Structure formats: structure tokens, C-alpha cells
Amino acid sequence: MRNEGAWNEEWVRARGRWRVVRARRQGRWWRVLWLVAGPGLLVMLGENDGPSMLSYAATGAQYGIGFFLPFVVLTFAMAFVAQEITVRLGAATQSGHAELIYRRFGRFWGNFAMVDLMVTNFMTLVTEFVAMVAGSAYFGVPAPAAVAVGVAVVSAGLWLHRYWSWERLTLGLAVVNLVFIPIALLSHPDWGAVGRALVTFRPWPAGGATSTLTMILADIGATITPWMLFFQQGAVSDKGLGGAEIPWGRWDTALGATLAALAALGCIVATAPLHAHGMNASAFSAAAFAQALLPWVGSVGSALFAIGIIEAGVVAAATISVSSAYAWGEVTGQAHSLNRSLREAPGFYAVLVGIAALAGSVVLIPHFPLETVVILVNVVAVLTMPPAIGFLLLLANDAEVVGHHRSGRLWNGLGIGVGCFVALAGLVYAVTVVLPAVTR
């Protein structure tokens, strides 16, 4: 059964590769992009998840239009650098990220990477269900029903049995993330102020250094997280993309980063009126943002905001659960593909659905500190990212792993810059915020 499942899995991938080759030979470049696109779009729009969008909403409400607009653009540029390297690794090796770490650095580091991913993924999944519950509350949907629907969507891979079908379904949901752009338009922003902020990084955030630094780290964590590496490399491998598709994978990732950045900026601009009118952002729980925006974006804009928060949680829950299942299968050597059936890959689907169901049940615990966890998760993502970047750069420079697709000076320089920036941000946060709190 296992051999038959593996054969079917490879047949599906080979058929997908042939469609790409045929479109390329026919010079149908838009067709090639359509066939290859998916992992990059999903990883970027999926990273615009529940805690990310709520962090952006809190950013706009607390600081308005200014420094954080170009800063968020910068974070998406850094995310593109990390994910471009991931695309090359996946296409050149046809292996997942956890599998490569396990193979090149041994069992200890392979298990370390998987455990680290599972813990951070679980914490993040909890916040995705927070977002689903929060957005659904705007429409009067009970929390248990919102969690049940979320788990059902995450479980789609159980009955689709094909990566392509799962990817297109999830992409259709991910496009809803762009609703934050029309919401921003409905808020009638000062476009002159938006333009000046984007090119000058001004005005600098006014307020306490601790709260500003926490928001900076939260917005970095809203864009660059370890699960993105594991998901996109696993998706590239599962989809069957090869070395010839690497340039198209870059375009896919760049398009995803651009669309996700526009949605993030839209969310900040949409909530900026709360800051302009002197409203205290700390007074808004996750569900209250949509209601608070009602005077400035109207009932349609408020409803769209709530829908956007729901979508952010659902899509991220699906992609993060899949990244966990990929990592588990890669490290344990078990079947790990969305091209397999439940009978062929029971462990893969058990992890995929189980981790989501467990995270959803946590949200239903009475008096659970939901809003605190949302910000904390993004901060933790930043603190755990430097080791992930380190593994990524080592693998991308190993000729035995990636051959002639290894990183050159440009990508090495950019990758090291991203790693240093994230590590420095985490260090500054630890010294100025965490250490004083612990020693107080």
C-alpha cells in the first residue's frame, strides 16, 4: 500500500511538471505562472494571519500614519529574501526543510527544529482561532461554532487528496485578505501623509519606548516566522517544482509579498482614524476593532474588517497545520503529502487535524488571556527566527545539497542582513524590555 501510495504521489507530481513544461515550450508564460504560483502566494498571504492583522490594526490605532508604514514594507522585503532561499532549497532538493536539517545536521538538530516548530506553530494556531472567534463574534456566531468551522476548513486535505486542489481552495480563501485595501479607501485617509510616511519613515512613533519596541517586534513577527520556511519548502516539494521553475517561484513569492504588504498597509491605514481621534487602542479587544471603525468606514467597512480577520485566521490555520504535518513526516520518515489519502498517510493527517483541533479547544477555555497571547506570539516568532535563518543560510550554501543553485554573494549578503536585523531586534527587546521586567 505504501509503494502504491508513493507511486501515485509521484505520478501526480510528474503530471503537474509536464503541464508546466508544455506551457513553457508553447511560450504561454502566463499559463506557466498560473501553474507554478501558489506556495509563495499562500505563504505570504497566510502570514497575514490573525495575530498579524490584529497587530497591524493595533499599530494603526496606536500610532496612526507614519513610521510603521514603510517599516512594514521593509519587513515584507526581508520575508521575500528568506522565502526566495526557501524556494531554491525546495526546488533543487525536492525535500522539505525539516528533512534537510535532519539529513545534513543530524538527529539532534533535526529534532530540535521540529520541536521548536511544533511549539511555536501551536501557539500561533491558538491565536488563529482567537481571530476566527473574534471576527465571528461581530456577526453573533458563538465561539464553539466558529472553532468547529475553522477545524473543518483545516481538514479539507482529508477529502481533497491532491495538493493542487487544496492549494487552489486555500488560495481562493486567501484572496479575501485583500478586503483591507477597500476598507482603507473607505476610511478616506490623507494620501499626502501616507506618501510622505512611505518615503521618509516619519513621523517617529510618539510614546513610551517599551510599547513602541514591543510593537516593532510584533510587526516583525507578523511578517517573518519559522513556519513559513517549513511550509513553502514542503509545498514546493509537494507540488513537484524543479530547478527550472525557480525563477517562476521567485515571481510567485514576490507577488505574494506585494499583495500581502498592500493588505497590511491597508489595515494600518484603515485603523489610523482611531489614533487621529484620540481613541485609546488598548481599549479594543480583537472583536472591538470592527465595531470601533463603524463611524469612519460604515457598516460595510466594519463587516469587511470582521470578515478579513476571520479569513486571516482560517487561511493561516490551514497553512500552519500543513507545515507542522510536513515537518513531522519529514523527520519521522512517514508519508507526508497532500497527494496521499488518509489511508496512505494517517500520521500526516492526524498531525494536521489534531494540532488544529487542540489549538481551537484552548480558545474555548473560560477567561483565557486571548489579547495578551496575540501580541506574545508575534514577539516569540522574532526570538525564534535567528536559528531558523542560520539553518537556512547554511543549507543554501552547501553545494552537496543545492548544487549550482546555491546562494551567491547577493543573496548571502541579503540573507545575513535579515538574520542580523532580526537577531538584533530580539536582543534589544530582551535587554530593554524583558530583562528589566524580570529583575524588577
Give the least confident one: 12-21, 164-173, 254-263, 362-371: 12-21
More confident residue, 252 or 8: 252
pLDDT for residue 435 is more than 70:
no
Pick the CATH number of 38-439 from 3.10.180.10, 3.40.50.1000, 3.30.420.40, 1.20.1740.10: 1.20.1740.10
333 phi and psi angles, rounded to 5 deg: 80, 15
Contact 224, 422 (CB under 8 A): yes
More confident residue, 176 or 36: 176
Q: What angle do CA 345, 114, 342 make, to 5 degrees?
A: 10
At residue 64, the 3 state secondary structure works out as coil
pLDDT for residue 2 is more than 70:
no
Query: Once rounded to an integer, what is the mean pLDDT over residues 190-215?
Result: 82
More confident residue, 246 or 112: 246
Alpha helices by DSSP H, listed for 26-160, are 29-36, 39-47, 50-63, 68-93, 97-105, 107-138, 143-154, 157-160
**pLDDT band, residue 281 (cuts 50/70/90):** very low
430: DSSP letter: I
Question: What pLDDT shows up at residue 147?
Answer: 94
pLDDT for residue 8 is more than 70:
no
Greatest mean pLDDT among 100-114, 327-341, 397-411 lies in 397-411
User: Could you identify the residue written with the cell 495538493?
Assistant: 163
More confident residue, 396 or 336: 396
User: Could you identify the residue written with the cell 501515485?
Assistant: 8
Q: How many CB atoms lie within 10 A of CB 372?
A: 9
Give per-residue pLDDT as tens, 302-360: 999 999 999 999 999 999 999 899 888 888 888 878 888 888 888 999 999 999 999 99
> What are the grid coordinates assigned to 332, written together?
519521522
363 phi and psi angles, rounded to 5 deg: -60, -25
Cα 72 to Cα 182: distance, rounded to the nearest angstrom: 19
Greatest mean pLDDT among 22-31, 76-85, 208-217 lies in 76-85
> What are the grid coordinates assigned to 343, written together?
489511508
Cα 293 to Cα 270: distance, rounded to the nearest angstrom: 8
Query: Once rounded to an integer, what is the mean pLDDT over residues 256-276?
Result: 92
Question: What pLDDT shows up at residue 11?
Answer: 59
Give the least confident one: 170-179, 211-220, 249-258, 386-395: 211-220
Percent of the chain with pLDDT over 90: 28
pLDDT for residue 266 is more than 90:
yes
Q: How many CB atoms lie within 10 A of CB 161?
A: 18
More confident residue, 378 or 117: 117
**pLDDT band, residue 44 (cuts 50/70/90):** very high
Q: How many CB atoms lie within 10 A of CB 415?
A: 22
More confident residue, 218 or 132: 132
Question: What pLDDT shows up at residue 5?
Answer: 53
Contact 223, 78 (CB under 8 A): yes
Q: How many CB atoms lie within 10 A of CB 260?
A: 26
Give per-residue pLDDT as tens, 129-138: 988 988 898 8
Question: What pLDDT shows up at residue 253?
Answer: 94
Task: Say which residues have a Cβ less than 8 Å from residue 121's Cβ, sequence separation at least 6.
Answer: 227, 320, 321, 323, 324, 355
pLDDT for residue 1 is more than 60:
no
Question: What pLDDT shows up at residue 350?
Answer: 92
List, as one string, the DSSP characters of 124-141: HHHHHHHHHHHHHHHTT-
Q: How many CB atoms lie within 10 A of CB 295?
A: 11
Q: What angle do CA 415, 224, 363 make, to 5 degrees?
A: 160
Closest listed residue to residue 234, CA positions, set 349, 103, 91, 355: 91
More confident residue, 27 or 128: 128
Note if the bond before 203 is cis, omega within 30 degrees: yes
- For 290-318, the three-class secondary structure string (H helix, E strand, C coil) is HHHCHHHHHHHHHHHHHHHHHHHHHHHHH
Query: Once rounded to an integer, what is the mean pLDDT over residues 389-416?
Result: 89
Contact 43, 232 (CB under 8 A): yes
Estimate to the nearest angstrom the gap between the alpha carbon of 42 and the chain centroid: 8
Estimate to the nearest angstrom the gap between the alpha carbon of 6 and the chain centroid: 29
Question: What pLDDT shows up at residue 269?
Answer: 94
pLDDT for residue 112 is more than 60:
yes
177: DSSP letter: G
Query: Once rounded to an integer, what is the mean pLDDT over residues 271-288?
Result: 65
Q: What angle do CA 418, 316, 273 make, to 5 degrees?
A: 80
**pLDDT band, residue 16 (cuts 50/70/90):** low
Query: Once rounded to an integer, what is the mean pLDDT over residues 237-244?
Result: 82
Identify each DSSP E strand in 211-255 by its residue range.
none
How far is residue 336 from each of residues 33, 45, 89, 440, measured CA to CA in Å?
26, 23, 18, 47
Helix axes 163-174, 39-47, angle to 10 degrees: 40
pLDDT for residue 280 is more than 60:
no
More confident residue, 204 or 76: 76
